[in-house]
Homo-oligomer: A and B are copies of this chain.
Amino acid sequence: MRMRRKKNLEQRLDDCNSILVSIDNEDKNFNTAIEEKQYLDYKEIFGNENPVQMEIGCGKGQFVYELAQREPDINFIAVEKSANVIVQACEKALELGLENVLFIKGSAEYLPKYIPDGTIERLYLNFSCPFPKKKYANHRLTSKRFLPIYEKMLVKGGEIHQKTDNMHFFEFSIEQLSDYGYTVKNISLDLHNSDFEGNIVTEYEKRFSDLGQPIYRLEAYLK
């Protein structure tokens, strides 16, 4: 059974190859600073030179495909580690006929090999895994391990937009961003009861909000 499922998954991933790039890298000595660059050619991929925004940890893609429909003049790159999950996002994007989304299957640390420096206008981190245990703190997507990667990819003044339902992860995020030099703005400690407009509420977000948990949100940029 296991083989069959895997085979099926590979077939499904193959069927999405018009909008899916895989950047998995098994080499533990991988170092983006010295690796030969294989920069994506946005014009070739999207057929235009529109601004590019990115979501890291897109899950099943609900946020990015809703945003991509709302913003047809922006191109989106949606990154997700899990093959099982990203395949569902890709299939939905194909079904919707979206032409402004590219999916990348892989880990955030490999992105600088593929993303030209200073080309991402905005980075979304939505409900990233909080890795509650301290010893896994450097797996959190707002840890200092990732902030230089984001700085490299973002345009000057480009923004990180984060949402989470995890209070301690949000505290950690503000601290890490602030310590790195980011200016934090438009903070909501209870997004669904704030005056923020245009929020895209994913199923995941709705589930936590329905339990009465506040949703936290921030924007951050380097001056």
Contacts and interface: CB of A to CB of B under 8 A. Distances in A.
Copies of this chain, how many?
2
A211 to B, nearest CB: 16
Interface stretch (A36-44, A50-58, A123-131, A180-188): A180-188
A179 interface: yes
Contact of A187 (B171, B182, B183, B188): B171
A85 interface: no
A189 B171 CA distance: 7
Nearest to A190: B167
Contact of A175 (B167, B170, B179, B185): B185
Contacts of A186: 175
A178 interface: yes
Interface in A188-215: 188-190
A182 to B, nearest CB: 8
A176 B170 CA distance: 18
Given A167-B190, A190-B167, A183 B174 contact: no
Interface residues of A, number: 17
A178 B178 CA distance: 7
A179 B178 CA distance: 10
Interface in A61-107: none
A187 B187 CA distance: 13
Contact of A174 (B167, B179, B184, B190): B184
A179 B185 contact: yes
A21 B189 CA distance: 39
8 contacts: A167-B189, A170-B189, A175-B186, A175-B187, A178-B183, A178-B184, A179-B183, A184-B184
Given A175-B185, A175-B187, A189-B216, 16 more contacts: A167-B189, A167-B190, A170-B189, A171-B187, A171-B189, A174-B184, A174-B187, A175-B184, A175-B186, A178-B178, A178-B182, A178-B183, A178-B184, A178-B185, A179-B183, A184-B184
